[in-house]
């Protein structure tokens, strides 16, 4: 009985997190998505539709500013605009995280600010976003903020996020959660030199996600290259020897995925001993502290 009561109270607290403002936002968003997706499916998109699409995004921006509240982050321009790039289902920019997007003056760094209620709704909608047998976004908030799938689906990108190393940042004062990693974005598997920081902070009913250039000279780790070469050889052999089951990844695909993951684990181990790693961690900590500044209350 006690466990049932705890569960009911937990459900009640989740339900209470969303209110009329969020309901109005999602009703407007979903109405726009239905409208523009129908236009896109019919193939009748014209200049007036493009302008109407921008007006719809402007409306969602106004609704989000009321929900998220005032935001002032040093180094990022206010007020933010909607993080939703497209309201056409199937578009590359469709399905991003509901929140406000803020950019640095040079537009190289960005912060998305959302609320616990908006994020909870988004996570549920993205539970099976990529379909079955694929690593989708975890439903636990903290696990989601540690996952590559979350950032690939949530942020402005035309490529997937690949984690090359975690950066040990301390939780800022009054923050519930903080996480940072060094990443590369790519459309295909294979070794790359990571060049971007991702920093996420949860504080005061909000979640803030920053992406910024690493601004460091990060040298390739030649000691890890053999892992990828071996994976490529295994993949080539698998393509010759095995037939492809349409319902499962080809053996060659799995070999390359495992090789890519092994390369990045190797990179993380070696990077910790390089001079740039401490500088990257310090930069990530600075971003985390700015995201959790008093202006974010």
The 10s digit of each residue's pLDDT in 158-183 is 899 999 999 999 999 999 999 999 99
Q: Which three-class secondary structure string do you get for the chain? A: CHHHHHHHHHHHHHHHHCCHHHHHHHHHHHHHHHHHHHHHHHCCCCHHHHHHHHHHHHHHHHHHHHHHCCCCCCCCCCCCEECCCECCCCCCCECCCCCEEEECCCCCCEEEEEEHHHHHHHHHHCCCCCCCCCCCCCCCHHHHCCCHHHHHHHCCCCCEEEEEEEECCCCCCCCCEEEEEEEEEECCCCCCCCCEEEEEEEECCEEEEEEEECCCCCCCCHHHHHHHHHHHHHHHHHHHHCCCCCCCCCHHHHHHHHHHHHHHHHHHHHHCCCHHHHHHHHHHHHHHHHHCCHHHC
Spacing of C-alpha 127 from chain mean position: 14
Q: Look at 296 and 120; give whichever has higher pLDDT.
A: 120
Predicted pLDDT at 48: 94
Confirm if 113 and 208 have CB atoms less than 8 A apart.
yes
Same domain, 156 and 243: no
Same domain, 232 and 104: no
pLDDT mean over 183-207: 95
Computed over every residue of the chain, the mean pLDDT equals 89
Same domain, 252 and 120: no
Backbone φ and ψ for 174, nearest 5 degrees, come out as 70, 0
Same domain, 188 and 263: no
Confirm if 109 and 210 have CB atoms less than 8 A apart.
yes
Q: What residues make up the domain containing 253?
A: 222-273
| Domain count across the chain | 2
Does the pLDDT of residue 143 top 90, yes or no? yes
Work out the pLDDT band at 237, boundaries 50, 70, 90.
Answer: confident
Does the pLDDT of residue 62 top 70, yes or no? yes
Same domain, 171 and 259: no
Tokens of 161: 């996020």
Does the pLDDT of residue 264 top 80, yes or no? yes
Closest Cα to residue 72, out of 119, 113, 117?
113
Predicted pLDDT at 68: 97
Work out the pLDDT band at 226, boundaries 50, 70, 90.
Answer: confident
Does the pLDDT of residue 35 top 60, yes or no? yes
Predicted pLDDT at 13: 40
Predicted pLDDT at 73: 95
pLDDT mean over 227-249: 70
Q: Which long-range contacts (CB under 8 A, 24 or more apart) does 227-230 make?
A: 227/259, 227/262, 227/263, 227/266, 228/190, 228/191, 228/259, 228/260, 228/262, 228/263, 230/259
Predicted pLDDT at 3: 44
Same domain, 23 and 95: yes
State how far the Cα of 46 lies from the Cα of 276, in Å rounded to an integer. 50
Same domain, 187 and 159: yes
Same domain, 134 and 242: no
Predicted pLDDT at 4: 40
Confirm if 200 and 211 have CB atoms less than 8 A apart.
no
State how far the Cα of 101 lies from the Cα of 80, in Å rounded to an integer. 5
Does the pLDDT of residue 96 top 90, yes or no? yes
Same domain, 256 and 213: no
Predicted pLDDT at 5: 37
State in Å, rounded, how far the first CA of the chain is from the last one. Answer: 37
Same domain, 184 and 84: yes
Confirm if 187 and 158 have CB atoms less than 8 A apart.
yes
Tokens of 191: 């070794």
Same domain, 261 and 153: no
pLDDT mean over 78-106: 95
Per residue in 112-132, pLDDT tens?
A: 999 999 999 999 999 999 998
Q: What percent of the chain has pLDDT over 90?
A: 72
Same domain, 195 and 142: yes
Tokens of 267: 């990179």
Residues 6+ apart with CB under 8 A from 187: 158, 159, 160
Does the pLDDT of residue 23 top 60, yes or no? yes
pTM for this prediction = 0.87
Does the pLDDT of residue 297 top 70, yes or no? no
Tokens of 244: 């492809």
Q: Look at 217 and 8; give whichever has higher pLDDT.
A: 217
């Amino acid at each position: 009985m006690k466990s049932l009561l705890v569960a009911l109270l937990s459900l009640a607290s989740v339900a209470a997190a969303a209110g009329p403002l969020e309901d109005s936002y999602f009703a407007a968003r979903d109405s726009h998505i239905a409208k523009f997706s129908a236009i896109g499916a019919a193939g009748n998109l014209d200049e007036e539709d493009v302008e109407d699409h921008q007006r719809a995004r402007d409306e969602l921006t106004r609704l989000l500013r009321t929900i998220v509240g005032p935001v002032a982050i040093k180094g990022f321009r206010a007020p933010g605009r909607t993080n939703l790039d497209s309201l056409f289902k199937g578009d590359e920019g469709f399905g991003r995280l509901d929140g406000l997007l803020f950019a640095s003056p040079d537009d190289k760094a960005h912060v998305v600010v959302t609320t616990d209620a908006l994020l909870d709704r988004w996570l549920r909608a993205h539970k099976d976003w990529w379909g079955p047998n694929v690593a989708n976004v975890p439903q636990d908030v903290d696990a989601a903020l540690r996952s590559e799938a979350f950032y690939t689906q949530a942020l402005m990108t035309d490529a997937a996020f690949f984690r090359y190393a975690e950066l040990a940042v301390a939780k800022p004062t009054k923050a519930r959660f903080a996480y940072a990693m060094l990443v590369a974005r790519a459309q295909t598997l294979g070794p790359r030199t990571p060049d971007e920081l991702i920093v996420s902070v949860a504080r005061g009913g909000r979640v803030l996600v920053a992406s910024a250039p690493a601004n460091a000279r990060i040298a390739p780790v030649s000691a890890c290259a053999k892992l990828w070469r071996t994976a490529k050889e295994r993949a080539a052999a698998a393509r010759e020897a095995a037939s492809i089951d349409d319902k499962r990844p080809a053996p060659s695909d799995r070999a390359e995925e495992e090789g890519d993951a092994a390369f990045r684990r190797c990179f993380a181990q070696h990077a910790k001993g390089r001079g740039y790693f401490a500088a990257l961690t310090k930069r990530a900590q600075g971003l985390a502290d700015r995201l959790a500044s008093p202006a974010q209350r």
